[in-house]
Amino acid sequence: MSLSGAARKKTSATDRDAAPTDRPALLLAWYDRHRRKLPWRPPAGERADPYRVWLSEIMLQQTGVKTVGPYFEKFVARWPDVAAMAGATLDDVLRMWAGLGYYSRARNLYACAVAVARDHGGAFPDTEEGLRALPGIGPYTAAAIAAIAFDRRTMPVDGNIERVVSRLFAVEEALPQAKPKIQQLATTLLGPCRAGDEKSRAGDSAQALMDLGASICTPKKPACSLCPLNEDCVARAQGMQETFPRKAPKKSGELRRGAAFVVTRGGELLVRTRPEKGLLGGMTEVPGSEWRTEQDDKAAFKQAPELKGVTRWHRKVGVVTHVFTHFPLELVVYTASVPARTRAPEGMRWVPIATLAGEALPNVMRKVVAHGLGR
């Protein structure tokens, strides 16, 4: 039954649940014609490589497709399979990851590669349960790998799928409380399953929904006229597409402030490595103060590194701003230059500015260095 025309009255998700529908088949037919070409996807009809699926899913966890593409290519060129990555060092992986953000992903990526090579003979487990036991693989990623690489009959629900499903069924409950309901509704969109074959085309169904969310059912101005499910979409029938998914108001973190010290010795820069655990763990940074909400400039400045030869700190005009998931940050940048042969304080080191691109510098530090060096 179509919801167009006279039937455009408010319809609840429960009404729609009971309606017979060929949404899964429509979705797969659309996918066969319009699937996106992505570096980690094999040509249509070919089996996906679990290593490439895993690597792309970890990279895509908090980063968009456009940014991930070149990183993905770089990673598979250097480490064509999981055993090759397991043979690298954590530092190698962090360096290659630099700039992608959310660095705990890189540490888990490496730990996972080592675990797969050591405990599973280099082959990823083919069940959600087995995948979830690996470092860095949560419920969503396990479902995505199980569906896409192994055609397990499960539906991973990412932000794109959440949006499509919440619109298709007009889910009134707000996120994140609505997640279980959306998960259950999304599962009804899995492709048909032949008797005795629990695999079917689950991976294609999931990727079809991801593609639909990315290209047609976009957050603003969804292109409903091109959507294969438009005849059967409750939000469209209500003219309320853009109001879904409903969201609980966000609490944003408080602004934190601090100071960063850009010290040069000729063509070298003073850096240190952040502790393994915690925010930006194991990454490279210039010395700096703590980042606190109650930070005043004087207290932050007092945390400058003690260096013989610094006669004067120069405070750069302006601040460097960066937004982490849980808080925004503002850093005042001080610069100084020291004579040749000045020793680095304990726990710090000099690195050539010319080779900084090869350091595991997170984005916030790239901004700081660029500001400090006037680039």
Q: Which of 224, 279, 351, 373 binds ligand SF4 (CB under 6 A)?
A: 224
Residue 168 engages ligand SF4 in binding (rule: CB under 6 A): yes
Here's the x/- map for ligand SF4, 238-267, by CB under 6 A: it reads as ---x--------------------------
Can you say whether the dihedral through the CA atoms of 67, 68, 72, 75 is positive or negative?
Answer: positive
Nearest to 60 by CA among 1, 126, 180, 141: 141
How many residues belong to the site for ligand SF4 (CB under 6 A)? 14
Residue 210 engages ligand SF4 in binding (rule: CB under 6 A): no
What's the rounded Cα separation, in Å, for the pair 79 and 90? 13
Residue 207 engages ligand SF4 in binding (rule: CB under 6 A): no
Angle at 59 (CA atoms; ends 214, 102), nearest 5 degrees: 110
Based on DSSP, count helices (H) and strands (E) in the chain, helices before strands.
Answer: 15, 7
Residue 144 engages ligand SF4 in binding (rule: CB under 6 A): no
Distance of closest approach, residue 212 Cβ to ligand SF4, in angstroms: 7
Six-digit token string for 179: 């997640």
Q: Which of 236, 257, 265, 366 binds ligand SF4 (CB under 6 A)?
A: 236
Residue 214 engages ligand SF4 in binding (rule: CB under 6 A): no
Residue 23 engages ligand SF4 in binding (rule: CB under 6 A): no
What's the rounded Cα separation, in Å, for the pair 292 and 299? 11
Residue 222 engages ligand SF4 in binding (rule: CB under 6 A): yes
Contacts of 31 (CB under 8 A, 6+ apart): 204, 205, 207, 208, 211
Q: Which of 217, 260, 280, 286 binds ligand SF4 (CB under 6 A)?
A: 217
Distance of closest approach, residue 371 Cβ to ligand SF4, in angstroms: 42
With tokens 């990727």, the residue in question is: 207
Distance of closest approach, residue 209 Cβ to ligand SF4, in angstroms: 10
Region of 282 (left: φ > 0; alpha: ψ -120 to 50; beta: rest) is left
- The DSSP secondary structure of 79-141, one letter per residue, reads --SHHHHHTS-HHHHHHHHTTS--THHHHHHHHHHHHHHHHSTT---SSHHHHHTSTT--HHH
Distance of closest approach, residue 284 Cβ to ligand SF4, in angstroms: 43
Is 57 marked active-site? yes
Distance of closest approach, residue 174 Cβ to ligand SF4, in angstroms: 18
Residue 191 engages ligand SF4 in binding (rule: CB under 6 A): no
User: What is the binding site for ligand SF4 (CB under 6 A)?
Assistant: 164, 167-168, 216-217, 222, 224, 227, 229-230, 233, 235-236, 241
For the annotated catalytic residues, the residue numbers are 57
